[in-house]
């Protein structure tokens, strides 16, 4: 069964009023307290903790959107895309030129590319981005990498073959996933993309103070629910299925605490034709604001 793709315009006047009423963002209280609560719940009620652990893994924290990002969103053409059971909020900047898809990372949002995107529109590109289910302004509480992949394939149906795709973090893997399922693209830039499912689950478990038995339960659940191991949703898996000819720039920082730079080196080893750019002291998110990274990414897709 193919995904249903329906393009719908957004009530811009209503959304502008909502955006302008947004208050200065605060870090959600749940995110400040959950690490304290979770180990105690697991000790007292391990079965409840297991269900909670699995639910949290598929429920990305939704951070309030800063005022400068909201203003950037207001400048976009906004529309919704119906993909399976999700109504995905999408944005387009620029009115002509080749189309470039931008894909945010897990727990991220399109507006995090607000420094990136103007460089591309000023260079004559149209930029299309989306807030994945349970991210940004798109409704929902749970999501998976499959939703990112399905949205990319749906955008491909609407806009045709993109000139390039720029993707951050885990959803560099979603782009590779979409490519293996027919999203033809000749240029790809991935930033800070992890490659190990075990590493992601271990970090998630550590942040919650959870035991190793819950990590094992999560692995079993993923295999049962998504029909294959978590590692088979990673960039390291999809890179093995790539055809020659993809122009790919792998960008990563040596001080990335969420996805160590070894992830980038592993991808380069698996796809020797890829180019690689290693930065320093930008971390996992600030890399999206670095003008040197942006200009080199723009140059790469323009050649």
Per-residue pLDDT tens for 82-111? 999 899 999 999 999 999 999 999 999 999
Rounded distance between C-alpha atoms, residue 239 and residue 232, angstroms: 11
For 9-81, where are the alpha helices, taking DSSP H only?
12-20, 29-44, 46-57, 67-74
Per-residue pLDDT tens for 115-144? 999 999 999 999 999 999 999 999 999 999
Residue 21 has pLDDT above 70, yes or no: no
Rounded distance between C-alpha atoms, residue 9 and residue 77, angstroms: 9
Quick one: 5-25+63-196+234-302 is in which CATH superfamily?
A: Alpha/Beta hydrolase fold, catalytic domain (3.40.50.1820)
Rounded distance between C-alpha atoms, residue 208 and residue 193, angstroms: 22
């Amino acid at each position: 069964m193919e995904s249903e793709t329906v393009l719908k315009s957004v009530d811009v006047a209503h959304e502008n009023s909502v955006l302008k009423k947004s208050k200065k963002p605060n870090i959600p209280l749940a995110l400040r307290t959950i690490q304290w609560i979770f180990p105690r719940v697991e000790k007292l009620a391990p079965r409840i903790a297991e269900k909670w652990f699995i639910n949290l893994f598929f429920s990305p924290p939704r951070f309030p959107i800063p005022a400068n990002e909201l203003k950037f969103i207001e400048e976009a053409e906004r529309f919704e895309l119906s993909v399976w059971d999700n109504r995905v909020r999408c944005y387009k900047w620029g009115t002509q030129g080749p189309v470039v898809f931008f894909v945010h990372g897990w727990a991220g949002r399109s507006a995090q590319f607000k420094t990136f995107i103007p460089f591309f529109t000023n260079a004559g590109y149209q930029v299309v981005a989306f807030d994945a289910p349970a991210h940004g302004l798109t409704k929902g509480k749970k999501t998976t990498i499959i939703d990112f992949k399905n949205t990319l394939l749906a955008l491909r149906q609407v806009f045709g073959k993109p000139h390039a795709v720029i993707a951050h973090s885990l959803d560099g893997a979603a782009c590779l996933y979409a490519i293996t399922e027919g999203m033809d693209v000749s240029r790809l830039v991935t930033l800070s993309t992890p490659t190990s499912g075990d590493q992601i689950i271990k970090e998630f478990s550590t942040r919650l103070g959870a035991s190793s038995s819950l990590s094992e339960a999560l692995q079993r659940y993923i295999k049962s629910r998504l029909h294959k191991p978590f590692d088979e949703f990673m960039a390291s898996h999809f890179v093995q299925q790539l055809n020659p000819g993809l122009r790919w720039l792998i960008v990563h920082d040596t001080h990335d605490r969420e996805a160590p730079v070894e992830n980038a080196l592993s991808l380069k080893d698996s796809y020797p034709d890829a180019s690689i750019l290693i930065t320093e002291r930008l971390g996992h998110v600030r890399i999206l604001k670095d003008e040197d990274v942006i200009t080199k990414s723009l140059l790469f897709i323009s050649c």
